[in-house]
Structure formats: structure tokens, C-alpha cells
Chain A
Amino acid sequence: MDNKVPQLNIVGFLCNWCSYAGADMTGLGRNTYPSNIKVIRIPCTGRMDPMMIIEAFHNGADGVLVSGCHPGDCHYTEGNYYWRRRYPHLKSLLEHFGIDKRRFHASWVSASEGKKFAEVVKKVTAEVKDWRDNG
């Protein structure tokens, strides 16, 4: 059984090499997590065009999660380092436009951290739910 929160859409952009495999591992390990997250596979968090995140919010996503390899583990050596710089700036800019900080998250999940992925999704869903219920 999943612990889905009704009518809550979270878009998860997962990096092909770590987090996507990590999400797979979550299922293999029989860990449960809320099925509110809709996963989109991206090659690398360094490819994460901020336009796509803005578009996700624009098209009605309640939350966005971007997840990639731990720093130093990037398949392309340095992609996630660029993302680590882009994230705080984008978060701050979105907040300035009125998109609450509880709606936009990032995480590092490696291919073996199935349990961590479940935890991350639970946490993100709780935060987004908190934003929706309490404003």
C-alpha cells in the first residue's frame, strides 16, 4: 500500500545514473513511498534546465524534486557541481516570485540508496502537503 496524498502532484527529475537507479532499488527493496511523485528521467542534474522547472510549476505541479548523484560521483564528472550552484539561486528566485520554498527540493541519492529515496520522497510530500494545507 502506498501512502498517497490525494490530488498532489510532484514532479521528480531524476538523474539517469544514480537517482533513477536508486528509485528502482527502492522498489526492489520493497520500501514504500507516496506515489504522488511522477518521475522524469534526465541524463544528469547538470542538464537540468531551470526553464523546465519553471514550466513544471507553470503547468500546475505542486512540488518539484531534482535528484542526482552525490558530489564527486557524477557520471559526467562535474554535472552535479553545476547543479549545486544553480539550485540555491533558482530556489531564491522562485521564492521571490511567490513559489514557496517548501515546493522545490533537491537531493543526492545514489544507486544503492533505495531507502534514502523513499525517505526523501516522504519528506518532500509532507512538505508540499504542509504548504497546500497551511498556506
Chain B
Amino acid sequence: MDKELQDLIKKLLTEKKVDYAIGYEKAYDEFSTRPAFVTSAEDTARLIFNKYCINNLGLYLTKLKKNKIALICKGCDIPTVRELVKEKQFSRENVIVIGAACDGVLDKRTGKQPEKCLNCGVKQPKGADFTVGTAKDSTTARNFNDVAEFEKKSSKEKMQFWDRQFEKCIRCYACRNVCPVCYCPDCFAQRSMPEYLNKNVDAEENKMFHMIRMQHVFGRCTDCKACDTACPVNIPLTLLTKKLAKDAKELFNYESGADMDARPPLSTYDEDDPESGIM
């Protein structure tokens, strides 16, 4: 599969179809990969794809707007590309999406597959320009059982749970920096006028940061779990991003990154929207 990938990118680079290819290369040990930016045909030997390729490379699209790029995507990263095209962050013609068939990635911290891979319906990528390799989709469908389970708790329990989680947060902003849809050049968290967020790190401020971030990515988050993977203190951000996906589906029947024509739920309205308990 590595060979197939390298040949494909070599071809694209020599035919001058793209300026860059963004893929994965081996990092300091066999369990680690890092993003690789390949500009010449000889360089393609660096590229690999294996089960440790956990990063979502869609992140780099907003930073390389002017170049023509070949981007290696797992099936679960392709919605990110669609969402960013939809938000007009770059044009679809400028990116060649190379879907890599993936049998599920491994989180090297736990040595286990993350939850998203267990119910993955896009192991064989859908909507890519080229596809490399073959993989079989999971038989079980994606579900929101864990979120539904959490929702059953009382608000007091939920509050205590999050307070404990956000006590750990060191506000390194890794979750934000690694998020493909968090691309504001001027983030509210660092703004000083108005200063929404105090700069010191305490549980309450951390919680507010996460609440506002979640609100900002609602209807745009493609639930790629990049934030959850990046978190150095293992805050279960999956529980939040999945909740966003669940709400978008249940309230507005919307799935981000799925349909190019559907308007994002909060940027449109319908005169017949339900009143949802407004007095």
C-alpha cells in the first residue's frame, strides 16, 4: 500500500498537478507518525500509511490556501475537507483528495482503537479523487449510546463530572490548534478587548473556554476526534463533539461535511421552525 501511495503521488508531482503532497512519515519510533510535506518526486519515499496515522491532515488546508495540494485522507477526514470547502476556506479544485483505506487507527497512548473506529462506516473512503488500498467497513452502525447514557445523569452529576475533568485542563489550546474548523486568526480566548476569558488557568475558566469553543464549532465540527487525540491530559472531548453531532442531527437533521448543498444549521432558518419551549 505504501508503494501504491508513493507511486500515485510521484505521478501527480511529476505531472505538476500539485505543488505539495501532505501525508504521513515515520517519526521517532515505530508507533509514531508525523505529517510530511513532500514537494519533489524523490521525496515521496518518505511517505507511509499505517495504523498509527491518527492525525487529521485537513488541518493544513486553511493554512495553504494558494497552493495546489494532494492530501492524504482517511475516510473520516474527508468530511473535514468538504466542510472547509463549504466554508469557502479554499476551492475544491486546489486539492486532490487521496483516500487511504484504513482498518482503524491505534491510539499509541492506550494501544487501543479509539471509539470512532469501532463503528466506522467509512473505512473505505467515500468521495475521494483517488483511493488507495481496500478495507472493509464495520458492520455496526454509528451510534450515540454513550452520549445518551451521559445525558441521563442529573445536572448536578454532570456539573461535578465536568468540573473534575476541567480541573485537569492546562489550557494548552492543543484542542483548538489541532481542530481543522477552529481557524479564526483572532481567537476569543486570546482577545483582550473584550476579554472574555481570564488568562489564568482555573477550572471555571477552563470550563468556559470549552463551552464557548463547543458552541463555536456547532454544526461545523465533523467529529474527527482530533481534539480528543491531541489532549495531553485525556479530557474526554469526544463526549462533547459527539453531543454536537447528535444535536445537529436531532434538532436540525444536519450532518456536517456530509452534504455539500445543505446550509449549516445556524446560518439559516425556516419560518416553520418549532418553537422548542420558547414562552
Within the complex, what minimum Cβ distance (angstroms) separates A56 from chain B? Answer: 11
Contact with B along A37-67 (1 / 0, CB 8 A): 0000000000000110011001000000000
- Given that A78-B269, A85-B252 are known contacts, is A120 also in contact with B279, CB under 8 Å in the complex? yes
Q: B195-217: which have CB < 8 Å to A?
A: 196, 204, 207-208, 211-212, 214-215
Residues of A within 8 A of B7 (CB): none
CB within 8 A of B265: which of A55, A85, A107, A135? Answer: A85
Within the complex, what minimum Cβ distance (angstroms) separates B213 from chain A? Answer: 10
Residues of B within 8 A of A (CB): 150-151, 154-163, 188, 196, 204, 207-208, 211-212, 214-215, 218-219, 240, 243-244, 247-248, 251-252, 265-266, 268-271, 273-279
Interface residues on A, range: 35 or more
Residues of B within 8 A of A90 (CB): 215
Query: Contact at A99–B155, with CB atoms within 8 Å?
Result: yes
Residues of A within 8 A of B157 (CB): 98
Query: Contact at B214–A98, with CB atoms within 8 Å?
Result: no
Query: Contact at B207–A97, with CB atoms within 8 Å?
Result: yes
Query: Contact at A84–B275, with CB atoms within 8 Å?
Result: yes
CB within 8 A of A54: which of B211, B247, B279? Answer: B211
Residues of B within 8 A of A24 (CB): none
Query: Contact at A96–B158, with CB atoms within 8 Å?
Result: yes
Query: Contact at B159–A88, with CB atoms within 8 Å?
Result: no
CA distance A135 to B212 in the complex (A): 25
Looking across the interface, which residue of chain B has its beta carbon closest to that of A70?
Answer: B278
Contact with B along A14-44 (1 / 0, CB 8 A): 0000000000000000000000000000000
Name A's interface SS: helix
Residues of A within 8 A of B276 (CB): 84, 87-88, 91
Within the complex, what minimum Cβ distance (angstroms) separates A102 from chain B? Answer: 9
CA distance A123 to B268 in the complex (A): 31
- Given that A87-B276, A98-B156 are known contacts, is A93 also in contact with B196, CB under 8 Å in the complex? no
Query: Contact at A92–B247, with CB atoms within 8 Å?
Result: yes
Looking across the interface, which residue of chain A has its beta carbon closest to that of B147?
Answer: A96
Query: Contact at B265–A106, with CB atoms within 8 Å?
Result: no
CA distance A96 to B214 in the complex (A): 11
CA distance A135 to B162 in the complex (A): 17
Residues of A within 8 A of B270 (CB): 81
Query: Contact at B208–A108, with CB atoms within 8 Å?
Result: no
- Given that A54-B212, A84-B273, A105-B279 are known contacts, is A98 also in contact with B247, CB under 8 Å in the complex? no
Contact with B along A66-94 (1 / 0, CB 8 A): 00000110000010011011111111111
CA distance A39 to B271 in the complex (A): 28
CA distance A99 to B163 in the complex (A): 12
CA distance A106 to B120 in the complex (A): 38
Looking across the interface, which residue of chain A has its beta carbon closest to that of B270?
Answer: A81
Query: Contact at A108–B279, with CB atoms within 8 Å?
Result: yes
CA distance A92 to B252 in the complex (A): 13
Residues of A within 8 A of B275 (CB): 84
Q: Which of A92, A93, A96, A99 has the most CB of B within 10 A?
A: A96
CA distance A60 to B193 in the complex (A): 21
Looking across the interface, which residue of chain B has its beta carbon closest to that of A58?
Answer: B208
CA distance A134 to B116 in the complex (A): 38
CA distance A135 to B157 in the complex (A): 11
Looking across the interface, which residue of chain B has its beta carbon closest to that of A94?
Answer: B211
Q: A107-124: which have CB < 8 Å to B?
A: 107-108, 120, 123
CA distance A107 to B278 in the complex (A): 5
